[in-house]
Chains A and B, each alone.
Chain A
Amino acid sequence: KNEVEQSPQNLTAQEGEFITINCSYSVGISALHWLQQHPGGGIVSLFMLSSGKKKHGRLIATINIQEKHSSLHITASHPRDSAVYICAVPDYGGSQGNLIFGKGTKLSVKP
């Protein structure tokens, strides 16, 4: 069974700072997902990546398959980035590739 660890658990930043959130997993995967959960509870898929790097606006996600590690970066952070960021990977055991989730990183960006 795959295990997912995220760090840090909580992160407070000043507006404009560069943010990094880390995710490690224990079993090799085909793709890793980054999700954003807004304070109101809604969940949005940010990235699904299997190698290298993806960029969307101020968000950048990277993955190192050999090291079983992914990072989510936010450049020029803004208070509207305040949310919980969740990493998820497939579990190829009993749940046939369905996702297991990290505990999330709660980001608060202060103006």
Chain B
Amino acid sequence: DSGVTQTPKHLITATGQRVTLRCSPRSGDLSVYWYQQSLDQGLQFLIQYYNGEERAKGNILERFSAQQFPDLHSELNLSSLELGDSALYFCASSVGLPSNNEQFFGPGTRLTVL
């Protein structure tokens, strides 16, 4: 158990819908990361928050948004869903910055868009 929790574990929805994925980092970790893993693209970095502030963006679509709350939990919002958004979404956390700190991954949310 990494100490990072994600809910829900599975999500099935229809095209055009909006969903929210939730992540709680390990106690004491200030950085939260969101990743997408699809069959054809592999693991891709979406966005990082550090102590409540957005720090870096990766390959995140404009239809996707995220935030980190004062208690450091984070939510990833996916809207106007398309079939291609079906993927595993992972949250991870670390004490500090990404390049020099081990990251601890949550169990993931499997999103299926029908």
Contacts and interface: CB of A to CB of B under 8 A. Distances in A.
A24 B25 CA distance: 30
Interface stretch (A64-72, A73-81, A100-108): A100-108
A31 B90 contact: no
A41 B88 contact: yes
A96 B55 contact: yes
Interface residues of B, number: 26
Interface residues of A, number: 28
Interface string B48-87: 1000000111100000000000000000000000000000
Nearest to A43: B105
B105 A98 contact: no
A101 B56 contact: no
A33 B103 contact: yes
Secondary structure call for the B interface: strand
A97 interface: yes
Nearest to B43: A101
Which interface residue of B48, B98, B105, B107 has the most chain A CB atoms within 10 A? Answer: B98
B112 interface: no
Nearest to A48: B102
B110 interface: yes
Interface string A31-58: 1010100000111110010100000000
A98 B98 contact: yes
A99 interface: yes
B45 A99 contact: yes
Interface string A12-40: 00000000000000000111010100000
Given A44-B2, A96-B55, A29 B99 contact: yes
A98 B48 contact: yes
Nearest to A100: B45
13 contacts: A30-B100, A31-B99, A43-B108, A45-B103, A90-B98, A95-B58, A96-B98, A97-B97, A97-B98, A97-B99, A98-B48, A99-B98, A103-B42
Interface of B: 2, 33, 42-45, 48, 55-58, 88, 90, 92, 97-105, 107-108, 110
